[in-house]
Chains A and B, each alone.
Chain A
Amino acid sequence: MTKPLRMRPIVLAKKLGMTQYFNQDGDAIPVTVMELAENIVTEIKNDLKHGYASVQLGANIKKEKHLNKPKLGNLKKKNLPNLGYLKEFRIKPEESEKYKVGEPLDPSSILVPQEYVDISGISIGKGFQGMVKLYQKKRGPKSHGSKSYRQPGSIGAHTYPGRVLPGKKMPSRMGNERVTARNLRVVEFDKEKNILLVRGAVPGVEGTLVEIKPSIKKWNP
């Protein structure tokens, strides 16, 4: 049995970096500072025409020369700015009236202080890494003339099967992949300054675009 689809709205934001914040008790808490992106609704899809209902958001306004012609044409047709990044999220068909093309999304329903959010982004690339850092393998013995420093060890049996099984973990590139940090608490949202504070770390380098959704585990609207 498949679970019913959980429809969660998305807000796009730019990660600025981390700092400390003193709460009312005087405790220092680590926070990530994010700046909300433009979040302009670019398209509303419906059941009749597209087969499903969703809202497409745009962010990251760029110069005209930095967008290709198909993207520019699509945005120009709807009289929208040169948005460099588009992201879609599913909605219930009856909710489509809440959104309007060309208008910014209201983030206040997602960014409620003291509530939890999930934040996804592209993690920092770590380059080609060995088994110890990548998969938390133990290193070899340090004494008795051992020369096994950070080696992967055995990668399989002998004549049977005579090959390395598919999916065997081996040293490879680490990071630079989509990661979701779950259950991060919203500390503060300043609507005027367009700044969001979230407790804890958020994936990605500073300046990267991240997606913010209500937490799948701890949010019950």
Chain B
Amino acid sequence: MHPKIVELSKQNQKKQIPNVQVGDTVKVTVRIKEGTKERSQNYEGTVIKIKGTGISKTFTVRKVFQGVGVERVFLLNSPKIEKVEVLRSGKVRRAKLYYLRERTGKSTKLKERMLSSQSTSEMPKEEVPEEGKLVEVK
């Protein structure tokens, strides 16, 4: 891809992209326009696929609604997506969870990922003082 396109699409991208991973149970808040009014709607389900790179990166959320499987594709960088909340992260061994489509009931449940591995990534970073500056030691 041409570097000018990369630069252009970076301007269009969100500063903070929600950290979504395959197997996560997420709640996506989407803005919906009805005539002149705007409201937000929640959509909850399991992430079964993450596809694409850069500005065209998408994720697919699957849920079973009234006995019918529903899959919705969201653009990660879309301004229509207000918020993505990760409710639970599942332990998966595949990049695409298409096997969930053939399963119903209890077998669609994913084992929860150990929280200890997550908590390390959420640890606040240590502040590195600038050179020549005096910093109080905690």
Binding site for B on A (CB under 8 A): 16-22, 25-26, 28, 33, 35, 193, 195, 206
With A26-B78, A28-B75, A28-B78 already in contact, the answer to whether A20 and B4 are too (CB < 8 A) is no
B51 in the interface (beta carbon within 8 A) = no
B78 partner, pick from A16, A22, A193, A206, beta carbons under 8 A: A22
A19 partner, pick from B55, B78, B79, beta carbons under 8 A: B55
User: Which chain B residues border A18 with CB–CB below 8 Å?
Assistant: 5
B77 partner, pick from A16, A17, A22, A193, beta carbons under 8 A: A22
Which residues 55-107 of B sit at the A interface, judged by CB distance below 8 A?
A: 55-56, 75, 77-80
Q: How far is the CB of A29 from chain B (nearest CB, A)?
A: 11
- Complex formed: what's the CA distance from A20 to B2 in Å? 14
User: Which chain B residues border A17 with CB–CB below 8 Å?
Assistant: 1-2, 5
Please give me the 4 A-B residue pairs with the lowest Cβ-Cβ distance, nearest first: A26-B80, A26-B79, A16-B2, A19-B9
User: Which chain A residues border B4 with CB–CB below 8 Å?
Assistant: 16, 33, 35, 193, 195
- Complex formed: what's the CA distance from A21 to B80 in Å? 13
B12 in the interface (beta carbon within 8 A) = yes
Q: How far is the CB of A89 from chain B (nearest CB, A)?
A: 27
- Complex formed: what's the CA distance from A195 to B6 in Å? 13
Q: How far is the CB of A195 from chain B (nearest CB, A)?
A: 6
Scoring B5, B31, B78 by chain A CB atoms within 10 A of each residue's CB, the highest score goes to B5
User: Which chain B residues border A20 with CB–CB below 8 Å?
Assistant: 9, 12, 55-56, 75
Q: How far is the CB of B4 from chain A (nearest CB, A)?
A: 6
Are A33 and B2 within 8 A (Cβ)? Answer: yes
A33 partner, pick from B8, B33, B56, beta carbons under 8 A: B8
Are B12 and A22 within 8 A (Cβ)? Answer: yes
With A19-B55, A20-B55, A20-B56 already in contact, the answer to whether A25 and B33 are too (CB < 8 A) is yes
- Complex formed: what's the CA distance from A21 to B78 in Å? 9
Q: How far is the CB of B2 from chain A (nearest CB, A)?
A: 4
- Complex formed: what's the CA distance from A17 to B4 in Å? 10
User: Which chain A residues border B79 with CB–CB below 8 Å?
Assistant: 22, 26
B12 partner, pick from A21, A35, A195, A206, beta carbons under 8 A: A21
- Complex formed: what's the CA distance from A25 to B77 in Å? 13
- Complex formed: what's the CA distance from A26 to B78 in Å? 6
Are A19 and B80 within 8 A (Cβ)? Answer: no
Q: How far is the CB of A209 from chain B (nearest CB, A)?
A: 15
Scoring B8, B56, B78, B80 by chain A CB atoms within 10 A of each residue's CB, the highest score goes to B8
Question: Digit string of B1-28 for contact with A (CB within 8 Å is 1, else 0)?
Answer: 1101100110010000000000000000
User: Which chain A residues border B1 with CB–CB below 8 Å?
Assistant: 17, 19
- Complex formed: what's the CA distance from A77 to B132 in Å? 63
Q: How far is the CB of A152 from chain B (nearest CB, A)?
A: 39
Are A19 and B77 within 8 A (Cβ)? Answer: no
Are B5 and A16 within 8 A (Cβ)? Answer: yes
User: Which chain B residues border A16 with CB–CB below 8 Å?
Assistant: 2, 4-5
Q: How far is the CB of A143 from chain B (nearest CB, A)?
A: 31
Are B8 and A195 within 8 A (Cβ)? Answer: yes
User: Which chain B residues border A28 with CB–CB below 8 Å?
Assistant: 56, 75, 78
User: Which chain A residues border B75 with CB–CB below 8 Å?
Assistant: 20, 28
- Complex formed: what's the CA distance from A154 to B4 in Å? 51
